[in-house]
Amino acid sequence: MQKDKKNDIRLMTFEEIQEFFVSHGDKPFRAKQVWDWLWKKSARTFDEMSNISVATRNFLNDHFTLQTIFPSSVQISDDKALKIAFQLNDKKIVEGVLIPAADRMTACVSSQVGCSLSCKFCATGKLGFTRNLEFFEILDQVSLLSKFARERHDLPLTNIVFMGMGEPLLNYDNLLRAVEKITSPEALNMSPSRITVSTVGLAKMIKQLGDDHVKFNLALSLHAANDRKRSEIMPVNEHNSLDKLAEAVRYYYAKTENRVTFEYLILNHFNDTLGDAKELAEFCKNVPCKVNIIGYNFVEGTGFKKASDVNVKAFAGFLENRNIIVSVRKSKGENIAAACGQLATKSTKG
């Protein structure tokens, strides 16, 4: 007779854990001890729960699993960024990045194994899609990157960006559950204002964020404010045109009053002219926003190149002259393929 499969305890509610202990003759407070170890202390095994008896820990091991992820490799770049390959319980791999800066320590986390959206400039898009991450697998990335921040830099984690592998809004429920735990006083207790979710632009799901009145920041990967150009590099634009995105971000802002960030990957001789800047400035009129101009990071086989410094400066200046808030971002970790668009471990399919 086959033994019943054990469930992961992190899929249970506090009330379910409490009921489990009571039904097995234990005290209700035991649930609070276990809950704190799971979420506040980010325990990776039942054996770490040191204020619980060995007998109770063994009892938990007999009835439940605790499917934590673990770092399978760590690389450090010339500019001190860390790229960590995380092995999941099913042996799949996702990558996360710890990005140090003078005023912040940022964790870049993944939401899916691979990606289905095939953006032409992105290495992850070449992998195809394998599966969504569970909310606790997302949370584990944050916990481990926070640990690396303290161990390697002696600094706390200050910011989280969902800009790793995958499209967060295609894993919507797990995304929101992960953010709920990241921001909960019972867990990591980080401010939602320190969290940014980046999307390629799924109009329906952006509206859903508005309906759910999310408190975290939204970044839209625009990369062109011209439907022909955007569709050329981002197939998702065929069903999520700029008109649809404009309507979606207006709806999102009306519901949340959160300023939207437009991310603009500036590519040599493709979207780096003043004409392109003018189109972007027009799109920015839809909603209170800021623009992050991102330099291109090399991905083999795309044919794209970095825009010249002269063109980037002129592009940014054009926007600034129209009272648009602009930041020109240089990604860290390029020499270890940890920068924007470069995450593409070859181990994702097992």
Q: Catalytic positions, please?
A: 95, 340
Return the bridge partners of 261, or none: 219, 290
> What is the token pair recorded at 65?
């699993």
Q: Whose CA is closest to 13, among 42, 50, 38?
A: 38
Return the bridge partners of 150, or none: none
Q: Provide CB contacts within 8 A for 200, sequence distance 6+.
A: 117, 119, 167, 221, 234, 236, 240
Q: Where are the beta strands (DSSP E) in 125-216?
A: 128-132, 159-162, 195-199
* C-alpha to C-alpha distance for 221 and 214, rounded to whole angstroms: 19
* C-alpha to C-alpha distance for 136 and 155, rounded to whole angstroms: 23
Dihedrals φ, ψ of 300, to 5°?
Answer: -60, 135
* C-alpha to C-alpha distance for 106 and 142, rounded to whole angstroms: 10
End-to-end C-alpha distance for the chain, whole angstroms? 30
Q: Whose CA is closest to 190, among 165, 157, 167?
A: 157
